[in-house]
């Protein structure tokens, strides 16, 4: 019988709990605080922490109920320990410890980025993951609000960083561009909507790190500055027309994605692997999905994307899936009092207490 895992994620501004069995999602409850942070133009840590505290018990009981499980049916509790907004991540960790102690459940500490990388493996009950869908080595890509990382996955649990960002993450850059255009926060999805109506040949922006793809770095700060200058120069009396916003949204997205694809392509061609797993909020973007599919076709690779858009952005089901593979390797925490948040944990690192 596959383990039933209760998973929790409070890494940023979504309070989420899920029940998973292997790679099957039995429930995945997400309470988003995004609209509360919108007026601040970004996530306000103290507000995030307060809201997580208010909602955590509610999302957990809803996740159990939706999965038709009681706490006695749960075999282990899993939680994101990093990377995270420190005060936000702490709420989930504290709750997972309480559950582990009170109900005598083994404890699994999960890297949020591993959750994103493995999110394409999380499937609803009606779908089954076959062994054929898991060929390793593979590549993994995380494109989120905080990270842009390309890794080689030797096997699940072993990640080697091939490329990362030297400044902004892709999602962060899209959010900032959206803000320049007055589209609100978080802006990635709104920018996508505007860009759909944008024309290709109205504006131009420089392609980041053109000719330097071999360096294994992504960079969005130069593109952002160029976008700011272009946007300001286009404003008449401090305003942009709708068609200008659409065209500017298109050109920014176009260059941001082209840069991403070029760097990935360079790195992937050097290494033998046949599958690319992609996770993170930005892969909810239809244009990016199209370009990734085009790229893998050219390289004769397979791309594996999250089953639904809910699984792209932060959610606890992906944490449950990553935890399942950890459990299979026997990587339970022996001393949970040593477990703490690791705000800057990277994908190729293990938390300090497990060394």
Chain residues binding ligand KG4 by CB under 6 A are 12, 144-146, 171-172, 174-175, 186-189, 192, 280-282, 284-285, 313-314
Residue 232 burial class via C-beta count within 10 angstroms: exposed 0-12, middle 13-18, buried 19 and up: exposed
Query: Which of the listed partners (Zn ion, ligand KG4, none) does 188 bind, with a CB threshold of 5 to 8 Å by partner kind?
Result: ligand KG4
Q: Residue 84 or residue 109: which is nearer to ligand KG4 going by CB? A: 84
How far apart, in Å, are the Cα atoms of 269 and each of 228, 294, 345? 34, 15, 27
Span of 137-145, 220-228, 265-273, 322-330 interacting with Zn ion by CB under 5 A:
137-145
Write down the least CB distance from residue 218 to ligand KG4, Å.
14
Q: What is the DSSP letter of 206?
A: P
Residue 214 burial class via C-beta count within 10 angstroms: exposed 0-12, middle 13-18, buried 19 and up: exposed
Q: Residue 187 or residue 198: which is nearer to ligand KG4 going by CB? A: 187
Contact between 144 and Zn ion per CB under 5 A: yes
Q: Report the length, in residues, of the chain.
A: 355
Which residues 6+ apart lie within 8 Å of 15 measured at CB?
30, 31, 33, 51, 52, 55, 56, 59
SS3 at position 162: strand
Q: Residue 169 or residue 336: which is nearer to Zn ion going by CB? A: 169
Q: Residue 244 or residue 315: which is nearer to Zn ion going by CB? A: 315
Write down the least CB distance from residue 9 to Zn ion, Å.
8
Write down the least CB distance from residue 351 to Zn ion, Å.
17
Helix (H) / strand (E) containing 305: none
In 3D space, the residue among 218, 193, 195, 198 whose CA is nearest the CA of residue 208 turns out to be 218
Write down the least CB distance from residue 74 to ligand KG4, Å.
25
Write down the least CB distance from residue 249 to Zn ion, Å.
23
Query: Which of the listed partners (ligand KG4, Zn ion, none) does 24 bind, with a CB threshold of 5 to 8 Å by partner kind?
Result: none
Q: Report the interhelical angle of 45-66 vs 86-103 (nearest 10°).
A: 40
How far apart, in Å, are the Cα atoms of 144 and each of 40, 253, 327? 20, 14, 26
Q: Residue 144 or residue 164: which is nearer to ligand KG4 going by CB? A: 144
What does the alpha-carbon distance between residue 14 and residue 16 come to, in Å, rounded to a whole number? 6
Query: Which of the listed partners (Zn ion, ligand KG4, none) does 89 bind, with a CB threshold of 5 to 8 Å by partner kind?
Result: none
Q: Residue 192 or residue 314: which is nearer to Zn ion going by CB? A: 314
Q: Which of 314, 333, 340, 341 binds Zn ion (CB under 5 A)?
A: 314
Binding site for Zn ion (CB under 5 A): 144, 314
């Amino acid at each position: 019988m596959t383990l039933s895992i209760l998973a929790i994620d409070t890494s940023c501004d979504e309070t989420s709990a899920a029940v998973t069995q292997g790679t099957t999602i039995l429930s995945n409850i997400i309470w988003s605080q995004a609209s509360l942070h919108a007026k601040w133009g970004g996530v306000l840590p103290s507000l995030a922490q307060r809201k997580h505290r208010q909602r955590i018990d509610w999302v957990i009981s809803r996740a159990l109920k939706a999965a038709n499980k009681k706490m006695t049916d749960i075999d282990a509790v899993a939680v994101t320990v990093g990377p995270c907004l420190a005060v936000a991540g702490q709420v989930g960790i504290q709750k997972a410890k309480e559950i582990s102690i009170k109900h005598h459940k083994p404890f699994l500490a999960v890297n949020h980025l591993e959750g994103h990388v493995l999110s394409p493996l999380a499937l609803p009950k009606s779908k089954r993951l076959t062994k054929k869908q898991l060929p390793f080595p593979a590549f993994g890509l995380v494109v989120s609000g905080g990270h842009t990382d390309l890794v080689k996955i030797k096997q699940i649990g072993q990640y080697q960083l091939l490329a990362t960002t030297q400044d902004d993450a892709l999602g962060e850059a899209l959010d900032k561009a959206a803000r320049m255009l007055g589209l609100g926060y978080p802006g990635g999805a709104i920018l996508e909507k505007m860009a759909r109506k944008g024309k290709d040949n109205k504006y131009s922006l420089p392609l980041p790190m053109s000719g330097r793809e071999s360096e294994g770095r992504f960079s969005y700060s130069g593109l952002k500055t160029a976008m700011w200058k272009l946007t300001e120069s286009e404003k008449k009396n401090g305003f942009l027309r709708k068609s200008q916003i659409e065209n500017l949204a298109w050109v920014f997205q176009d260059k941001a994605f082209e840069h991403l694809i070029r760097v990935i392509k360079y790195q992937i061609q050097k290494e033998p692997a046949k599958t690319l797993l992609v996770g993170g909020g930005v892969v909810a973007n239809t244009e990016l999905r199209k370009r990734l599919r085009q790229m893998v076709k050219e390289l004769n690779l397979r791309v594996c994307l999250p089953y639904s858009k809910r699984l792209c952005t932060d959610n606890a089901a992906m944490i449950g899936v990553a935890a399942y593979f950890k459990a299979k390797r026997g990587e339970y925490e022996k001393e949970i009092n040593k477990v703490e948040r690791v705000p800057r944990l990277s994908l190729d690192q293990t938390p300090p207490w497990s060394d």
